[in-house]
Structure 1
Amino acid sequence: MKPDPRLRTSMALVLLACLPGLLTLLWQQGWGLLCNLLLCASAALLCETLILKLRGEPVSLALTDGSALVTAVLLTAALPTLAPWWLPMIAAGTAIGIGKQAFGGVGRNLFNPAMLGYAFVLLSFPSQMNHWPGQPAGLFETLQQVFGGAEHIDAWAQPTLLDGLRHNRSLTVDELFATHPGFGNIGGRGAEWANLAFLLGGLFLLQRKVFSWHAPAGLLAGLSLFSLLAWNGSGSDSNGSPLLHLFSGSTMLAAFFIATEPVSGPRSDWAKLVFGFAVGLLIYLIRTWGSYPDGTAFAILLMNLAVPSLERLALRRQQAAR
């Protein structure tokens, strides 16, 4: 059994498109990103290899189709860079073992594997998942933190823009931008540049027709619309402007690299548009009133469950149009 050459080409293009975003994150977060990448990739490939071997399927599939590496890269972009070494390995192992291979492997997964792995470690290890560095650490310091050679420093639990906005009670948004360490120019400090980089990669994939525009456009439209409707200016009770939400958190990564996952997402264009729009709405609701500062993983997983219903509605819509 040989891997589908179209799948291999698509995965290679996705990995290439992730490069600007990963380099931006590396510049912002330091060597921990490379540690996460190596750990996630190793765990993902090892888990996939072992499961394929147990099934009696060719092990070369784990090394040639590229899907496990894409899952590892998406997890790398989402996980804290100074998390202990076992956390990215558990996330990647869960993503591949439960999110992908438990359903039969490539092309059969019900949920987005990367988001399932991320949600699992977020719910299981909330303390470690909230440990973000305030500034890039050196290589030796990073290795000490990741592999347990040093105690974690509480000051490295850096508050993000979305955390600051959620817990703000007295400052206006303008004052937050001027004083809060998580705020940059239009969105999250650093996150705005990472979002621009992933937007660039996503536009490249659109140009290469790796996926259609419907899911990304739906997500960005849903997030923009509801943040606009609920925006009450720059007062202390503001939930943030549409521009702030578009360039904070994992918005562009979610729009172009996660919501477009072809297996767990819809196949018809109308359903993709509705899927993306609902994901954007859920992200906004979780960011604003939920218990987590960014809601990408939960929004995607919830809408994965709704895909069969969306496809049935899309089919009825097509039949009614005839």
Structure 2
Amino acid sequence: MSKLIVSLSPHAHGTDSVEKNMYGVVLALLPALLVSFLFFGLGSVVVCLSSVAACMFFEWAISKYIMKRQPSLSDGSAIVTGLLLGMNLPCNFPVWMVLIGALVAIGIGKMTFGGLGCNPFNPALVGRCVLLVSFPAAMTSWPQAGQLTSYLDAETGATPLSLMKWAIKSGDASVLEQLPSSFNMLIGLPETCQTGAGCLGEVCALALLLGLVFMLWRKIITWHIPVSILATVFVLSGLLHLADPVYANPVQVVLSGGLMLGAIFMATDYVTSPMTHRGQLVYGIAIGVLTVVIRNWGSYPEGMSFAILIMNAFTPLINNYIKPKRFGEVPAKK
């Protein structure tokens, strides 16, 4: 007679792994990355490569010499952090500042808390926000797209978000006429972009949407967080636009700035987002509300990074109060 073997959970194993999901995110980022290389040329290559290399180096060095443990560069998390940090920077950003951002992202945002799976905040956003506070001039000088050979001497211009901000402050809706069309904001079109294009990851919303479709198809993420963020921003921006035309139309608001990059690739971080689908909807809606509030009434034109970091802090609270139904649990009779 065979013996009954009782062992600790888990009893079922899936095919997912940290490496598979991280490199899946890298593949999903490729369309936006290639578009940034096409539009910004040398500057995009320098910023992204230096960011990825620095993040990998700092994770290896901190793991080996400070935490005294085997480095885990093969899991791909440092590459993802480096790519996301690089795509949140202007294409003319000095390399030495990129190194500082990478050190903050890995050293403070990730390894200080114990490494992958322990960090409460998105590491790339921690690095970006520290750079924004420390070097505001460099972080808000936005080169125009289409300058294929320029780097530090790129011609800068106002971004769509800064134009929207100025229209609200001045009360002059005619400022919004300088915005690119919604179609151009969707696909980029550097030859028609007369404004500063923003960060590397902001230039083409369509490339980011392709990454979203890929990650949904591969089941790397679910739709709950990105859709709830984009829908909330669209609805609130639409209500503001109907109330006063000084606020841009909701389609342009959704396609502008780092909203797509943040909603698809940064707010969906496994470690810093809620576990349940209901919790993810609450999380996404709150990020959308905070983004609209900061964009329209805050000091900075962009509010996505701050909104995600604020809600990262609320993730444990959401997980505590919105819990999944226990397996085998029978609802109590009323």
Does 2:27 correspond to 1:16?
A: yes
CA distance in 2, matches of 1:302, 1:187: 31
TM-score under structure 1 normalisation? 0.86
Per-residue CA deviations over 1:165-205 (Å, capped at 9, x if unaligned) read: 111236535x633xx2x523357483686111101111110
CA RMSD, aligned part only?
2.4
Q: Is the 8 A contact 2:90 2:142 kept in 1?
A: yes
Distance 1:119 1:187, change over 3 A: farther
The residue aligned with 1:185 is 182
Residues 67 and 294 (structure 1 numbering): CA distance in 2 closer, same or farther, change over 3 Å? Answer: same
Are residues 1:91 and 2:101 paired? yes
Structure 2 CA distance for aligned equivalents of residues 46 and 293 of structure 1:
33
Structure 1 counterpart of 2:21, one-letter code: S
| Pair 100,307 (structure 1): closer, same or farther in 2 beyond 3 Å | same
Report the Cα distance in structure 1 between the residues aligned to 2:321 and 2:24, rounded to whole angstroms.
32
Alpha-carbon distance in structure 1 between the residues aligned to 2:39 and 2:114: 37
User: Partner of 1:166 in structure 2?
Assistant: 165
**1:70-149 superposed matches below 5 A:** 70-139=80-149, 141-142=150-151, 145=152
> TM-score scaled to structure 2, two decimals?
0.83
1:257 aligns with 2:254: no
Paired AA for residue 273 in structure 1: L
- Is 2:214 aligned against 1:204? yes
Q: Distance in 2 between matches of 1:57 and 1:316?
A: 34
Are 1:94 and 1:117, in contact at CA under 8 Å, matched by a contact in 2? yes
Task: Judge which range, 309-318 or 275-284, deviates more.
Answer: 309-318
State the distance in 1 between where 2:210 and 2:310 align.
27
Counterpart Cα distance in 2 of 1:176 and 1:239: 8
Q: For residue 57 of structure 2, what is the aligned residue in structure 1?
A: 46
**Distance in 2 (alpha carbons) for counterparts of 1:311 and 1:290:** 28
Evaluate the alpha carbon distance shift between residue 23 and residue 234 of structure 1 in structure 2; reply closer, same or farther with a 3 A threshold.
Answer: farther
Pick the aligned partner of 1:36 from 25, 44, 47: 47
1 CA distance for matches of 2:262 and 2:213? 13
- Report whether the alignment pairs 1:224 with 2:234: yes
Larger Rg: 2
Distance 1:176 1:245, change over 3 A: closer
Instruction: State the AA in 1 paired with 2:139.
Output: M
* Farther-moved stretch of structure 1 (251-260 vs 182-191): 182-191
Give the direction of change, closer, same or farther, for the CA distance of 1:77–1:316 in structure 2 (3 Å limit). Answer: closer
Q: For 2:209 and 2:176, locate their aligned partners in 1 and report how far apart those are by CA, in whole Å.
A: 25
- 8 Å contact from structure 1 (residues 40, 76) kept in 2: yes
Q: Deviations over 1:297-321 (max 9, x none)?
A: 1001100111111112213998997
Moved more, 69-78 or 223-232: 223-232
CA 320–248 in structure 1, closer or farther in 2 if over 3 Å, else same: farther
State how far apart, in whole Å, the 2-side matches of 1:187 and 1:165 are: 16
Could you tell me how far 1:67 is from its partner in structure 2? 0.3
Assess, with a 3 A threshold, how the Cα gap between structure 1 residues 25 and 321 changes in structure 2: closer, same or farther. farther
- Counterpart residue number, 1:148: none
In structure 2, how many angstroms separate the alpha carbons of the residues matched to 1:98 and 1:286? 25
Q: Report the alpha carbon displacement of residue 251 of structure 1 after superposing the two structures with TM.
A: 1.7
Is the contact made by 1:188 and 1:249 (CA closer than 8 Å) also made in structure 2?
A: no
SS at match of 1:81: coil
Is structure 2 residue 277 aligned with structure 1 residue 269?
yes
Specify the alignment match of 2:176 in structure 1: 176
Q: Does residue 1:58 correspond to 2:70, yes or no?
A: yes
**CA shift for structure 1 position 233:** 6.7
Paired residues of 1:17 and 1:201 also in contact (CA < 8 A): yes
Q: Quick check: 1:186–1:243 contact (8 Å CA) kept in 2?
A: no
Q: Which structure 2 segments of 5+ residues have no match?
A: 1-14, 189-196
Give the partner amino acid of 1:288.
Answer: N
Could you tell me which residue of structure 1 aligns to residue 156 of structure 2? 157
Deviations 1:239-286 (A, max 9, x none): 212211111111221111011000011111111111011111111111
Alpha-carbon distance in structure 2 between the residues aligned to 1:130 and 1:23: 23
